[in-house]
Amino acid sequence: MIYRENGEVETMEGFENILTGEDVAPGFEFDLKILRMPTNASPIPL
């Protein structure tokens, strides 16, 4: 969920987006693809 400065809440689904800092943090970009687990990854043992 993204909580915007004006109080709006936005939900993004999937990992195909890049979040930006907009006016709050100009120049900031976060590529959500780095959070995706590889399809061949083994589960982490508990």
Is residue 23 within 8 Å of 5, Cβ to Cβ?
yes
Does residue 30 have a pLDDT over 90?
yes
CA torsion angle 20 8 36 45 (round to 10): 130
Closest CA to 30 of 39, 21, 40: 21
Does residue 43 have a pLDDT over 90?
no
pLDDT at 42: 74
* N residues, the chain: 46
CA torsion angle 35 41 42 43 (round to 10): 20
The model's pTM is 0.63
| Residue given tokens 């709050």 in the structure block | 24
pLDDT at 36: 86
Does residue 32 have a pLDDT over 90?
yes
